[in-house]
Amino acid sequence: MEARSCSREKKKNRKPLSKLDLKLPKPPRRGNLSLSLSLSLSNIFIYSNSNLINLLQERLHVHR
């Protein structure tokens, strides 16, 4: 019986959280733009770094 009451309480606690999330003010478009830009830049850096690592590994294999 105790387990059932706990699960019911958890379900009740989930609903107000979703309502709060909806009420939160949305960030301005500029913020979203800068965030997406920074993410794309970081992705580019990661991609270029992975390419460099691959080149280095190939050169190391050639030397061996």
The contacts of residue 38 (CB under 8 Å, 6+ apart) are none
What is the pLDDT, as a whole number, of residue 51? Answer: 86
Domain total in the chain? 1
pLDDT above 70 (res 8): no
Domain, as residue range, for 33: 2-63
CA dihedral 24, 27, 32, 34 (to 10 degrees): -140
Residue 10's pLDDT band (cuts 50, 70, 90): low
For 12-64, the pLDDT digits (tens) are: 545 555 555 556 566 556 667 777 878 888 888 888 888 888 888 888 877 65
What is the pLDDT, as a whole number, of residue 42? Answer: 83
What's the Cα-to-Cα distance from 30 to each of 5, 22, 27, 34, 35, rounded to whole Å? 45, 20, 8, 6, 8
Output the pTM of the full model: 0.31
